[in-house]
Amino acid sequence: MASPRVCVLRAPGTNCDVETAYAFDSCGGRSDRVHLFRLIERPTLLDDYQILCIPGGFSYGDDIGAGVVFSSQLRGHLGDVVHQFLTADKLVLGICNGFQTLLKAGVLPYGAAGWGKSDRSEADATLTWNHNGKYTARWVHLTVGGSKNVFLRDISELDLPIAHAEGRLVPRSADVVETWRNQHQIAIQYAPWAAGSDGASNPINDRWEANPNGAVAEIAGLSDPSGRVLGLMPHPERFLFATQHPQWTRLNLEGSGAGLKLFQNGIDYFA
């Protein structure tokens, strides 16, 4: 099959679109950085793509809340094409602001099953202010849990950077988390850093809580029940090369970074 086409959807204020498109392309995809306004003008444009990715940034300045205006545009103008995309055998990835947008639009947590509401008043979850009340940029250690998400195949754990202010996942009630667990939706979780080769505890654990924002159940990323939609706060496109790891000079890391595998998995799904 020809290389899958990736729609990297950008809105005013999106700022990780170039490197995200690069990540897909370097794994054999063919990505276009598509402006939201083009898609609103001609929604069927989306039919040409196999992967829809909403990258990181500050869409519309996050002025009312992270991803709020972008998600309102998706709901208001692209209801039908997004529905078709979600029901087809296609993939959706939201990174950081993209995750916030997917969740607030209603694409997550439940994929096609949850899509189509006109407002958010019944929403099961939100992404809101970090417990520390500030924008925070640091690296986290992540484990991949019981989901069958396509993007996470053959990944059990990895380090990635986060850079967000509103990354704390809050459910409406505890039942919601139970539902997610039962439907294998808890895709990626924050976890303590691994011990060194000598068995000594990792000093990062002494200074940072594993969970950087207070997210419920340490959740860093959610899958829809089908495993074809993923939203995550950490940035896999910022670990494409070993030299992006904060300790590459200590650990003598070489070659590609662990984040690349997510993009490769997305592309390989269509192989």
Partner 1 sequence: MLWEVEIRPSAHEIDREGLRIVQEAHDLRASTISQVESARSFLLQGTSLNAADIKRAASMLLVDPVAERFEIREVSEGEVTVSNSMKSATLLNVMYKPGVTDNVATSTQKALIDLGFTVDTVATVRKYWFEASVSTSDLDRVTKRVLANDAVERVISGPIRMSKIGAGSDYQFQLRTVPIRTMDDHALKDLSKYGQLYLSLTEMQTIKQHWVDQQRDPTDIELETVAQTWSEHCSHKTLKGRIRYRDESGEHVFENMLKETIFGATVEIRRRLGADDWCVSVFKDNAGVVKFDDKQHVCFKVETHNHPSAIEPYGGANTGIGGVIRDPLGTGLGAKPILNTDVFCFAPPDTPVASLPPGVLHPKLVMKGVVSGVRDYGNRMGIPTVNGAVFFDERYLGNPLVYCGTAAMIPVDRVEKTVHPGDLIVAVGGRTGRDGIHGATFSSAELTQESETISGGAVQIGNAVVEKMVADVVLQARDLGLYHAITDCGAGGFSSAVGEMGEEVGAVVWLDKCPLKYTGLSYTEIWISEAQERMVLAVPPDKWDEFHAICEAEGVEASAIGQFGNAGRLRLTYHGETVGDVAMSFLHDGRPHVTRDAFYTPPGETPLGGVAATNRNLSDHLNTTLKKILGSLNVCSKEWIIRQYDHEVQSGSVVKPLVGVACDGPSDASVVRPDLTSYRGVVVSNGMNPHYGDSDPYWMAAAAIDEAVRNCVAVGADPARIAILDNFCWGNTERAETLGSLVRAAIGCKDTAIAFGTPFISGKDSLNNEFSYVDAETGEKRTVAIPSSLLISAIGQVADIRRCVTMDLKKSGNILYLVGVTRAELGGSHYALVNQLKGGRIPHVDMSVAPRIFSAVHKSIELGLIRSCHDLSEGGLAVAASEMAFAGGFGVELELSQLAKASGLSDPASLLFSESTTRFLIEVEPAQSSRIEKEFAGLPLTQIGQVVSSGRVRATLENGQLLLDQECAELKAAWQSPLAWD
Which residues here bind partner 1, judged by CB under 8 A?
12-13, 15-16, 18-19, 22-23, 35, 37-38, 56-58, 60-61, 63-65, 68-69, 72-73, 76, 118-126, 128-129, 132-139, 161, 163, 170-172, 203-204, 206-207, 235, 237-238, 240-241, 243-244, 246-247, 249-250, 254
Told to judge if 237 belongs to the known catalytic residues of this protein, a careful annotator would answer yes
Count Cβ neighbours within 10 Å for each residue of 169-191 and write b for 16 or more, e otherwise: bebeeeebbeebeebebbbbbbb
Residues β-bridged to residue 232: 95, 221
Our CB check for partner 1 shows the closer of 139 and 151 to be: 139
Whether the ω angle into residue 109 lies within 30 degrees of 0, i.e. cis, is yes
Instruction: Considering the complex, state which of residue 58 and residue 90 has its C-beta at the smaller distance from partner 1.
Output: 58
Three-state secondary structure along 145-201? CCCCCHHHCCCCEEEEEEEECCCEEEECCHHHHHHHHHCCCEEEEEECCCCCCCCCC
Output the smallest distance, CB 90 to partner 1, in A.
25
Q: Which of 7, 16, 27, 96 is catalytic?
A: 96
Cβ-based nearer residue to partner 1, 58 or 180: 58
Q: How far is the CB of 211 from partner 1 (least distance, A)?
A: 16
Name the residue among 195, 125, 120 with its Cα closest to residue 167: 125
Q: Which of 7, 166, 237, 245 is catalytic?
A: 237
Among residues 141, 164, 235, 245, the one annotated as catalytic is 235
DSSP helix/strand/coil, 98: helix
Nearer to partner 1, 30 or 148 (CB): 30
At 93, the amino acid letter reads L
Q: Which is nearer to partner 1, 27 or 227 (CB)?
A: 27
- Cβ proximity of 191 and 205 under 8 Å: no
| Burial of 2: CB neighbours in 10 Å, binned 0-12, 13-18, 19+ | exposed
Q: Which residue has the tokens 């990354």?
A: 167
Q: Smallest distance from the beta carbon of 153 to partner 1, in angstroms?
A: 23
> Of 43 and 270, which has the nearer Cβ to partner 1?
43
Q: Fill in the amino acid letter for 77.
A: H
d(CA 132, CA 8): 31
Q: Residue 243, Cβ neighbours under 10 Å: how many? A: 12
- Residues marked as catalytic: 96, 235, 237
